């Protein structure tokens, strides 16, 4: 059979993954027309404006270089599907909120609706690529939906091509990925489809970094990668608690452990806990998968990673309260950072949200600052997307334009996100404007502790035995 040439790509879902991934494909493959579609009109309008809907270093340049040439953003989902020969499905797969598996299983409704639309609209054969993170064997249900709804003569090959980018470094990760993973059925048609997708990536990714495996291995690898990254964070955070109780220092322990070439030094930074839309959701997904496969001990093992993370967030919040002499009612506490990590405006599952809620539940006055998160997003997070009324907490929350403003008069300054700008704040000036004793809680182990102590602050960090 002649090799399949990819000329037109459609990406369903213009989010944190679909947008950057397909913008980079458009940049690296100028001969391929790439159309990114979404049902969310406001999101598409933003992609077509100077104010992109997501903040990601380097993204503006990539989009500006190709938009209107071979990169298009549209809400016309049907047209883009009909014209494409390869379709990425990059829709959200959040944790299910209700019904069987609620709180654990992935909600595959968006994925199934998109798949059904592909079948209904297509008048020619297509390659359908799972870009979303999905439970193992989801491709099987996609194939059933496609086959049951397709027109005569239309055939679909399904590939799994999970995305490993990290928010905050997405463009860098997409330009030079550690690996691109493509899973396919091991049939002639499946392998032909796999070669077609490989030909797209090989425009810039070295061949040895493009890994081809079976469909189910590919699906599971993505869950496994996120679970193991999160597990490392929970492991180091568990050790941080031991450090605090013994006088050891977690940075020193992590440094020593990370020098072991079998382990390496990455992802060994203790912190207030992990956040983001993926780690918790993907581990819970693995927990649900294990349970449904009647592997309760395996489920228990992975569940512990999430439980440790919850414990770390609570522990940090309690530490603030304890240090402030066990009461924070009416006290002003500044939270620096709302995004779940630096260099992104994404706040999904951000530790700041639960920490702020803890302070508010004890009636503290909370001031907040984040360089990339909008005020409306912070309110959405604080009210849990409108499910909790805003009125009772409104008088206790102030969202500020700068870190200095947030810290003014604060009895405690709590760093939750590792934004670089927090390192170079005018800490002397901030100290002058704080009541005494003035506490800094470094939830990211990012500040110069000695310099702050020299100014006069009492500094509390995660994983350090010496108390102020």
Q: Could you tell me if 92 and 281 are in contact, meaning their C-beta atoms sit under 8 angstroms apart?
A: no
Does 17 bind ligand NAD (CB under 6 A)? Our answer is yes
Of residues 40, 74, 125, 292, which one binds ligand NAD by CB under 6 A? Answer: 40
Of residues 4, 11, 15, 353, which one binds ligand NAD by CB under 6 A? Answer: 15
Does 167 bind ligand NAD (CB under 6 A)? Our answer is yes
Q: What angle do CA 122, 126, 132 make, to 5 degrees?
A: 100
Q: Which is nearer to ligand NAD, 89 or 413 (CB)?
A: 89
Which residue's entry shows tokens 């397909």? 22
Does 278 bind ligand NAD (CB under 6 A)? Our answer is yes
From 10, 29, 278, 416, the catalytic residue: 278
Alpha carbons 325 and 234: distance in angstroms, whole number: 28
| Pattern 231-270, ligand NAD, x by CB under 6 A | ----------------------------------------
Is 29 part of the annotated catalytic residue set? no
Which residue's entry shows tokens 């770390």? 312
Give the closest residue to 138 by CA, choosing from 146, 127, 149, 130. Answer: 130
Alpha carbons 96 and 30: distance in angstroms, whole number: 38
Alpha carbons 62 and 100: distance in angstroms, whole number: 42
Q: Which region, judged by CB under 6 A, interacts with ligand NAD, from 85-93, 150-158, 334-342, 401-409?
A: 85-93
Alpha carbons 333 and 397: distance in angstroms, whole number: 10
Alpha carbons 232 and 222: distance in angstroms, whole number: 16
Give the closest residue to 87 by CA, choosing from 222, 197, 180, 207. Answer: 197
Does 122 bind ligand NAD (CB under 6 A)? Our answer is no
Q: What's the min distance (Å) between Cβ of 142 and ligand NAD?
A: 13
Q: Could you tell me if 111 and 142 are in contact, meaning their C-beta atoms sit under 8 angstroms apart?
A: yes
Does 145 bind ligand NAD (CB under 6 A)? Our answer is no
Does 280 bind ligand NAD (CB under 6 A)? Our answer is no
Q: Which is nearer to ligand NAD, 14 or 378 (CB)?
A: 14
Provide the CB-side half-sphere exposure for 248 (13 A, CA). Answer: 15
For residue 199, give both structure tokens. 């030909």
Of residues 277, 285, 461, 464, which one binds ligand NAD by CB under 6 A? Answer: 277
| Number of residues located near ligand NAD, criterion CB under 6 A | 27
Q: Which region, judged by CB under 6 A, interacts with ligand NAD, from 7-15, 62-70, 245-253, 405-413?
A: 7-15
Q: Which is nearer to ligand NAD, 116 or 315 (CB)?
A: 116
User: Active-site residues: which are they?
Assistant: 278
Residues that bind ligand NAD (CB under 6 A): 12-18, 37-40, 43, 77, 90-93, 110, 113-114, 132-133, 163, 165, 167, 277-278
């Amino acid at each position: 059979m002649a090799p399949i040439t990819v000329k037109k790509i459609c990406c369903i879902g213009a989010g944190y993954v679909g947008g950057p991934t397909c913008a980079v494909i458009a940049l690296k493959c100028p001969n391929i027309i790439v159309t990114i579609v979404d049902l969310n009109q406001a999101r598409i309008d933003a992609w077509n404006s100077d104010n992109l809907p997501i903040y990601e270093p380097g993204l503006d340049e990539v989009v500006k270089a190709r938009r209107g040439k071979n990169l298009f953003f549209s809400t016309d989902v049907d047209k883009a599907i009909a014209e494409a020969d390869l379709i990425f499905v990059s829709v959200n797969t959040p944790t299910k909120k209700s019904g069987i598996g609620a709180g654990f299983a992935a909600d595959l409704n968006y994925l199934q609706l998109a798949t059904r639309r592909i079948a209904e609209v297509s008048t020619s054969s297509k390659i359908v690529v799972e870009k979303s993170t999905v439970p193992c064997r989801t491709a099987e249900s996609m194939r059933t939906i496609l086959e049951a709804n397709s027109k005569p003569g239309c055939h679909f090959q399904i590939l799994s091509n999970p995305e490993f980018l990290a928010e905050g470094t997405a463009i860098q990760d997409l330009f030079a990925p550690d690996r691109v993973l493509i899973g396919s059925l091991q049939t002639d048609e499946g392998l032909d489809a796999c070669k077609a997708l490989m030909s797209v990536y090989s425009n810039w990714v070295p061949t040895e970094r493009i890994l081809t495996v079976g469909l189910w291995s590919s699906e599971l690898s993505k869950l496994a990668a996120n679970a193991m990254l999160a597990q490392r964070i929970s492991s180091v955070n568990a050790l941080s608690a031991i450090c605090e109780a013994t006088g050891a220092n977690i940075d020193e322990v992590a440094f020593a452990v990370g020098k072991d070439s079998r382990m390496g030094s990455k992802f060994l930074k203790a912190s207030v806990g992990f956040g983001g839309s993926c780690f918790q959701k993907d581990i819970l997904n693995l927990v649900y998968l294990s349970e449904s496969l009647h592997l309760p001990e395996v489920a228990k093992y992975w569940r512990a990673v999430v439980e440790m993370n919850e414990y770390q967030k609570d522990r940090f919040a309690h530490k603030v309260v304890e240090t402030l002499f066990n009461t924070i009612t009416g006290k002003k506490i500044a939270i620096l950072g709302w995004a779940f990590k630096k260099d992104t405006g994404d706040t999904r599952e951000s530790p700041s949200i639960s920490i702020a809620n803890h302070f508010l539940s004890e009636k503290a006055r909370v001031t907040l600052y984040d360089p990339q998160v909008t005020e409306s997003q912070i309110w959405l997070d604080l009210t849990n997307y409108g499910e909790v009324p805003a009125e009772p907490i409104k008088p206790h929350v102030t969202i500020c334009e700068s870190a200095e403003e947030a810290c003014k008069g604060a009895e405690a300054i709590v760093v939750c996100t590792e934004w670089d700008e927090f390192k170079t704040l005018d800490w002397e000036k901030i100290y002058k404007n704080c009541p005494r004793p003035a506490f800094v809680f470094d939830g990211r182990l990012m500040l110069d502790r000695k310099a702050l102590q020299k100014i006069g602050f009492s500094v509390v960090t995660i994983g350090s035995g010496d108390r102020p």
